[in-house]
């Protein structure tokens, strides 16, 4: 059925208000010198770039461009067989997308298994696969154990330390045994997410605790005892008083409106001006509480921790098809004042307390249905196994639905993630054709086709997001590719020695600024010029294009293909290619290898514009590190002279004295130790400096096929723990388990 839709796609056009003259010709002009189709495909290489993109609120544009990187993909021609679903190692190649399954309900792939109906294993999940389970866990995973504490606790005896270490290893093994190796099992039929689901329902935040009698709110200097509801909201505001945004106009106005809505009639009559409110005592009380909590004794903290642990034990897990799975967010979001990112028009509004009466529960009919808190009932209990959520409620700020779902290490999330990367890998086989096509489309007579082509070119080349339309006034003003406006780009016929440069400057997701100057092919450049003609800065650049149209087109080119697949594809491809470039077998030092890995990772983060605010203590900690390096250098110099001296002594006094020889050896070792440690520090400094404004986590977690990293680790002899922490290893357990050294994305 996907097919038919695709055919229609072409007819769809969006007629926006702004009408432009079509210039069927504008781009007919032959491609000027610069880039040609070819060059887009293969050459432009990666970033050397420093990023210059900066967080929105910052005022000025940043100077220089990042040299954006164009992922090179041309080389991955290797035919990956791919398509047979093998559920074991290496090349799991093909996780049928639910898409694909739907589309081809009758194709062989499905034919093979879809009848399997009942995941027989109900009683014996994983049984048939035991053998795998046995053999895997023995691999490198634990070799690294050694890097644990080892010393530090000088109190403990060696025995104890050893014991502790062994215990840890044992626990690890145990955990590994218990792990649900879902990736070795057959998939369910399309659309079915689970067969059995049982849980305890979400965990609700504690009720509001009224203020003690000695803490007052004042209006115009007079103490006012607020009603419970109004008081609670006042406290929300008071708690944030140190925060900058309680000074923002929009925030204050929204808050005040929300607050007044919670007041009694009398309170509304009395309290008319936020500026006349004094939350000082409440604020002070709050700070005191925080401080108090901070000063709790070890034991008290432990008690709290254990109490917390109990809650997690009870509410934090569910049973899904006979496996215990961790829930990602089992806690209902507590009420508070909404803080959107960027210039959010709704910042400061009251985010209401959620009651069980607002919550829909989803679980198996035959499961033990969660019991609502005493005196309450659920909004609804349903049994829908085509969705993955356990509970949901509607939030009052945007009116959107919030879900309780499983943790990233769960089968449900993991399988989807795997599938995502398989789709991206499939793009590899189509991408050349698609690129050729959009270059041709840039010459189309139809404006909408050319717009589509140029937009796709950006998405591919720059890894921009699709960019849906957003309702004005509901959210911060941010854009993505399809929603770019004329004001967001500037064309430069010539810039910094390059032809046809497009300067991007806009706020993207989370109001993160995207700033980039990019040389583009002249076909694209000429089209852009035309798209911008007779438009106001606030008009849409691609006024005949929507994400829906773009995605329809894409899915006609390859099943499962959407705009965001390009981001995944280009990110993963870049990582793989950068790893090849930046690391090699001759590297001996782990620190060195890791720097290479991080740099490859960084190239991706730059491509995807994953930024972070420079850590508050950045300068300081950088200086500290530098100081350490200096002192280590001195130490090294000293060690070297001592070594020379020792050598000399040894020579002069002859080899007669074995002590001198030993001394020489000792000094040698000291020099080595010292210089290694220096190298490590220097590498660390470089890494940190380069990472100042770049967040590696997002790409690592969401865009980089973990199998690339796992394979790299194996080839380079780097323990996986150096690259993935515990959480990440859990999330990527499937990849760690199945990936062979020779994996190619």
Partner DNA sequence: GGGGGAACTTAGCAGCAATTAT
Partner DNA sequence: ATAATTGCTGCTAAGTTCCCCC
Q: Which residues are catalytic?
A: 703
**One residue of 169, 303, 613, 638 binding DNA per CB under 7 A:** 613
CB nearer to DNA: pick between 74 and 328: 328
One character per residue 388-427, x = contact with DNA (rule: CB under 7 A): xx--x-xx-xxxxx-x-x-------x--xx--x-------
Residues 669 to 698 in contact with DNA, rule: CB under 7 A:
695, 697-698
- Kindly state the tokens that stand for 314: 């009870």
Shortest distance, position 302 Cβ to DNA, whole Å: 10
Contacting range for DNA; rule: CB under 7 A; set: 124-132, 425-433, 443-451, 606-614 = 606-614
Stretch that binds DNA, among 220-228, 269-277, 519-527, 543-551 (CB under 7 A): 543-551
Judged by beta carbon, residue 329 or residue 444, the one nearer DNA is 329
Write out the H or E segment, with its range, that includes residue 601: helix 590-607
Q: Is 457 helix (H, G, I), strand (E, B) or coil?
A: helix
Report the nearest approach of DNA to the CB of residue 685 (Å). 10
Please check whether residue 38 is in contact with residue 545, taking contact to mean a CB–CB distance below 8 angstroms: no
Among 254, 555, 576, 598, binds DNA (CB under 7 A): 555
**Binding flag, residue 608, DNA (CB under 7 A):** yes
Q: Which residues contact 486 (CB under 8 A, 6 or more apart)?
A: 532, 535, 536, 537, 538, 539, 540, 541
DSSP character string of 83-133: -S---SSS-------HHHHHHTTTSHHHHHHGGG-S-GGGGTTTGGGHHHH
**Comparison of 31 and 690: residue with beta carbon closer to DNA:** 690
Nearest approach, Cβ of 470 to DNA (angstroms)?
A: 6
What does residue 702 show for φ and ψ, rounded to 5 degrees? -120, -15
* Site membership for DNA, residue 257 (CB under 7 A): no
- Which residues face 323 on adjacent strands? 320
Q: Say whether residue 709 binds DNA (CB under 7 A).
A: no
Residue with tokens 């990472």: 691
* Residue number, 380 or 665, with CB nearest to DNA: 380
Measure the CA–CA gap between 315 and 496, rounded to whole angstroms.
Answer: 58
Binding mask 105-144 for DNA (x = CB under 7 A): ----------------------------------------
In the complex, what is the shortest distance from the CB of residue 733 to DNA, in angstroms, rounded to a whole number? 14
| 699 contributes a contact to DNA by CB under 7 A | yes
Q: Which is nearer to DNA, 236 or 531 (CB)?
A: 236
Closer residue to DNA (CB): 22 or 387: 387
Between 2-9 and 547-557, two packed helices, what is the crossing angle to 10 degrees?
120
DSSP state of 500: E
Between residue 166 and residue 195, which ones bind DNA under the rule CB under 7 A? Answer: 193
The full DSSP string for 544-591 is T--HHHHHHHHHHHSTT--HHHHHHHHHHHHHHHHHHHH--TT---HH
Does position 58 bind DNA by CB under 7 A?
no
Q: How far is the CB of 557 from DNA (least distance, A)?
A: 12
Count of residues in contact with DNA, rule CB under 7 A: 94
Residue by residue, what is the 3-state secondary structure of 630-669?
HHHHHHHHHHHHHHHHHHHHHHHCCCCCHHHHHHHHHHHH
In angstroms, the CA 586 to CA 566 distance is: 33
Name the nearest CA neighbour of 220 among 278, 173, 266.
Answer: 278
Largest pairwise CA distance in the chain? 101
Site for DNA in 294-353 (CB under 7 A): 301, 305, 328-329, 331, 333-334, 336, 338-342, 344, 351
338 or 525: whose CB is closer to DNA? 338
């Amino acid at each position: 059925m996907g097919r038919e839709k695709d055919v229609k796609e072409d007819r769809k056009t969006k007629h926006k208000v702004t009408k432009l003259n079509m210039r069927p010709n504008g781009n007919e002009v032959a491609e000027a010198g610069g880039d040609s189709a070819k060059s887009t495909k293969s050459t432009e290489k990666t970033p050397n770039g420093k990023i210059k993109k900066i967080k929105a609120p910052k005022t000025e544009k940043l100077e220089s461009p990042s040299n954006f990187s164009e992922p090179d993909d041309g080389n991955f021609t290797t035919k990956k067989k791919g398509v047979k679903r093998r559920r074991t190692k290496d090349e799991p190649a093909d996780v049928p997308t639910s898409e694909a399954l739907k589309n081809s309900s009758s194709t062989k792939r499905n034919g093979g298994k879809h009848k399997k109906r009942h995941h027989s294993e109900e009683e014996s999940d994983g049984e048939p696969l035991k053998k795998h389970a046995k053999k895997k866990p023995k691999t490198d995973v634990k070799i690294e154990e050694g890097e644990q504490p080892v010393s530090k606790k000088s109190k403990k005896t060696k025995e104890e330390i050893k014991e502790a270490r062994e215990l840890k290893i044992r626990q690890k093994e145990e955990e590994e045994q218990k792990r649900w190796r879902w990736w070795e099992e057959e998939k369910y039929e399309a659309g079915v997410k689970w067969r059995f689901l049982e849980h305890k329902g979400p965990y609700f935040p504690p009720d509001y605790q009224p203020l003690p009698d000695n803490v007052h709110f004042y209006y115009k200097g007079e103490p006012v005892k607020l009603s419970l509801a109004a008081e609670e909201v006042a406290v929300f505001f008071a708690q944030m008083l140190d925060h900058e945004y309680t000074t923002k106009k929009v925030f204050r106005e929204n808050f005040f409106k929300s607050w007044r809505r919670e007041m009694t009639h009398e309170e509304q009559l009395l309290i008319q001006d936020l500026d006349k409110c004094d939350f000082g005592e409440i604020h002070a009380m709050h700070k005191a509480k925080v401080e108090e909590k901070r000063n709790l004794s070890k034991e008290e903290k432990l008690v709290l921790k254990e109490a917390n642990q109990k809650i997690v034990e009870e509410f934090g897990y569910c049973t899904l098809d006979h496996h215990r799975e961790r829930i990602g967010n089992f806690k209902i979001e507590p009420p508070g004042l909404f803080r959107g990112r960027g210039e959010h028009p709704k910042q400061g509004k009251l985010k209401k307390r959620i009651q069980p009466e607002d919550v829909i529960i989803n679980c198996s009919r035959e499961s033990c249905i969660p019991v609502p808190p005493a005196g309450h009932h659920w909004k609804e209990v349903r049994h829908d196994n085509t969705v993955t959520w356990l509970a949901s409620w509607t939030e009052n700020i945007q009116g959107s639905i919030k879900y309780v779902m499983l943790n990233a290490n769960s089968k449900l999330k993991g399988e989807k993630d795997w599938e995502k990367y398989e789709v991206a890998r499939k793009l590899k086989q189509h991408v050349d054709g698609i690129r050729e096509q959009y270059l041709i489309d840039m010459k189309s007579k139809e404006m909408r086709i050319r717009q589509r082509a140029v937009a796709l070119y950006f998405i591919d080349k720059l890894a921009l997001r699709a960019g849906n339309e957003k309702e004005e006034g509901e959210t911060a003003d941010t854009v993505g590719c399809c929603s770019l406006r004329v004001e967001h780009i500037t064309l430069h016929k010539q810039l910094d020695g390059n032809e046809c440069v497009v300067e991007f400057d806009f706020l993207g997701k989370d109001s993160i600024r995207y700033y980039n100057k990019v040389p583009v092919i002249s076909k694209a450049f000429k089209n852009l010029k035309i798209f911008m003609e007779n438009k106001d800065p606030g008009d849409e650049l691609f006024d005949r294009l929507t994400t829906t149209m773009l995605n329809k087109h894409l899915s006609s080119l390859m099943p499962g293909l959407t705009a965001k697949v390009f981001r995944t594809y280009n990110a993963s491809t870049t990582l793989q290619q950068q790893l090849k470039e930046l690391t090699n077998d001759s590297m001996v030092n782990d620190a060195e290898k890791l720097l290479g890995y991080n740099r490859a990772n960084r190239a991706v983060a730059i491509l995807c514009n994953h930024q972070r605010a420079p850590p508050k203590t950045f300068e300081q900690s950088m200086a500290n590190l530098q100081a350490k390096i200096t002192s280590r250098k001195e130490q090294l110099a000293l060690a070297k002279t001592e070594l020379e001296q020792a050598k000399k002594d040894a020579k002069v006094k002859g080899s007669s004295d074995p002590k001198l020889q030993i001394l020489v050896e000792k000094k040698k070792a000291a020099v080595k130790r010292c210089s290694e440690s220096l190298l490590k520090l220097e590498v660390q400094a470089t890494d940190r400096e380069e990472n100042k404004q770049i967040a590696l986590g997002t790409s690592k977690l969401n865009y980089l096929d973990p199998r690339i990293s796992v394979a790299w680790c194996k080839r380079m002899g780097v323990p996986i723990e150096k690259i993935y922490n515990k959480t990440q290893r859990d999330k990527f357990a499937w990849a760690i388990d199945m990936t062979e050294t020779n994996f190619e994305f």
